[in-house]
Structure 1
Amino acid sequence: MKSKLAKGIIFTVLTLVFALTISLSSVSAGSVYSGIDRQKEFAFSEDIEYSLEEMLNFAIQDEYLAKSEYEAIINEFGEVRPFINIVEAEQQHINLLLPLFEKYGIEVPEDNSAEKVVIPESITSAIATGIEAEKVNIAMYELFLSQDNLDQDVRDVFEYLLQASENHLSAFSKDRNQYYGQDMMNQFRNKINNMFQKEGNDSSRGSRQQAHGGNCTN
């Protein structure tokens, strides 16, 4: 039994290393994104001229969503970079938008973004999620800034948030390969634990069956 288990572990190690190498190296924002299609969620279009209310609502909802995603990732995987730095910035972005709602008499939308978050399967996938989030955030602010009907204070905030998102994208892109090894070890550890648990359950079940058979009488 021990020999069989050892062979199983060796086979699992080799298989897992190969599978993880392939899967992690091919991780992309499109394949592992948290399940939210931001372009569909916010329905951006270059053919539409957005009102100030629409732009502010889109902007703060996207900042809500980014903050909730990054908080959920930190809760799941720990204080990994660059999430621990960027999540604080997302709250600052929200704080920059709020005075515009007050100044222009626009109601602040409720933050229900946490309901839309799905935890990625690995840190590498989480970083791909961050890359996708920032790319869409950048595209949104570029689209809004292309409009001629922006008051200067609104334009100033959008330009600041655009630059911040570009910095975040750079940070995610820099760290995207950093956690391959940790992801492989985490998944390997889980696989081995599952194997030992299964082996223990099988042994326990076999012992109970033997005990039950020994108590049978003709």
Structure 2
Amino acid sequence: MSVDLVHTGLAGQTVAVLRELVLTGEIAAGERVNEVGLAQRLGISRGPLREAIRHLASEGLLVLTPNRGAHVPVADNDGVHALFELRSALECAAARLAAARRTDEDLARMREVSAASRAAFTTGEFPYRLDLAFHGALLDAARSPLVAEQVRLAQQRVILLRATKEVAFSHERASMDDHDVLIEAITAHDGDRAAAVMATHLDRVRDQLLTTR
């Protein structure tokens, strides 16, 4: 990954770069963050890097241990269940809100991202950014900033888990099908159906993470 940081907004850029390294698995689960090497690579001092580490620790993407620095967490099964309990509660509520509050522009954005996901899938890729973009479009339609903020924090922790897993094409195809059914329910202002589809969707993701090594 090539990195070019400028001094304007250095702290925010450092957070963004470090988050990308963690979420893509370049800094792997269980691996310690090499502050000296990473600071040299980014061409920055260790001050802003340490600020970024503390920020990601507050989001649950890193764990800080006294006198040992930071490392990427490794989730056990109990942690996966707890994370998805939170995510399901939040995103099922968001799906209901989206069904009630969506606009035509929101629907157009969800359809656009869904189509892009299928196009990427045909090439053998399913980048996490497209999955995030779809859920982000749904959150935008829900128009509940506090719910959206908490969902996004939970989503990144799921992405962190998935970076260590081999995800089957059949699972990704099912996820894209779920997205299309969500669009149908939200288009129809059917909050109950949207919430039910979201619950099934997240249960599938959870179970896939629990069964994949």
Normalising by structure 1, what TM-score?
A: 0.25
Specify the structure having the higher radius of gyration (Cα).
1
Normalising by structure 2, what TM-score?
A: 0.26
The structure that is helix-richer by fraction is 1
